[in-house]
Amino acid sequence: MVTDANNMPAPFTIIDHPLIQHKLTIMRDKQTSTAGFRRLLREISLLLCYEVTRDLTLTTKRIETPMQEMDAPILEGKKLVFASILRAGNGLLEGMLDLVPAARVAHVGLYRDHDTLEPVEYYFKAPEKLEDRLVIVVDPMLATSNSATAAIEKLKERGARQIRFVCLLAAPEGVKKFRASQPDVPIYTAALDERLNEKGYIMPGLGDAGDRMYGTK
């Protein structure tokens, strides 16, 4: 089931599928291993991708089954783009590519300055003709929203017009700031947590997603 979050300006969607919520609880547990965390993130990304792409436009193609010819549904338009905000975004990206292997991929390299909490760009590469493609931006956490906003602005500079943002967890402060700066970009998340702490981490959250994915500190 997909529900709109109360008191949040549309479009903001919490995907509350029982399997997602169950797997997310295990991911939050600090006792979960690096391998387990990475596997669960990949599994959840498949379910999130299913929901965020449920309204893709279809057309038909004439094919022949072993029994007869038929007009069968296929996706219409140019292949969509998954845009990963490095490094943690790759955890969601890999699972989504399992579901949509023909998708194009963009990488946006950003790290958060621990003093200012502002994003610092170090890498950007994206497919051509973004203006003709649906771009799904992925990052496990929407905390301050600074990195997500910077990545989306960069994609818009390259021509992207149809953009959706997918994350695992969101903080109310980040959602509010994101919606103010990117009112045309829908947000899809598995959970809306309580708040940010003084260091800009989501509470209760799950810690640093990148560190837990890769076993770093």
pLDDT per residue as tens digits for the range 143-167: 999 999 999 999 999 999 999 999 9
Helix (H) or strand (E) holding 209: helix 209-214
Burial class (CB in 10 A: 0-12, 13-18, 19+), 83: buried
Q: Please tell me the total number of residues recorded for the chain in this structure.
A: 217
Residues carrying an active site annotation:
112, 116, 208, 211
Give the domains, in start order, of the chain with CATH numbers.
2-54+82-214 (3.40.50.2020)
CB 185 within 8 A of CB 163: yes
What stretches of 20-99 adopt beta strand conformation (E)? 58-64, 69-75, 81-86
Residues linked to residue 197 through DSSP beta bridges, in sequence order:
none
CB 99 within 8 A of CB 44: no
pLDDT at 12 over 90: yes
**Whole-structure pTM value:** 0.90
Phi then psi dihedrals of residue 104, to 5 deg: -85, 160
Residue 210 has a pLDDT of: 86
pLDDT at 171 over 50: yes
pLDDT digits (tens, 9 = 90+) for 76-122: 988 899 999 988 899 999 999 999 999 999 999 977 777 776 778 88
What stretches of the chain adopt beta strand conformation (E)? 2-4, 12-15, 58-64, 69-75, 81-86, 104-112, 119-125, 134-138, 141-142, 162-170, 187-192, 195-196, 202-203
Residue 216 has a pLDDT of: 87
Per 3-state DSSP, what percentage of the chain is helix, strand, and coil (rounded to 5)?
Answer: 35, 30, 35
Question: Predicted confidence band at 4 (pLDDT cuts at 50, 70, 90)?
Answer: low
- Name which of 217, 191, 214 is nearest 86 in CA terms: 214
Residue 78 has a pLDDT of: 87
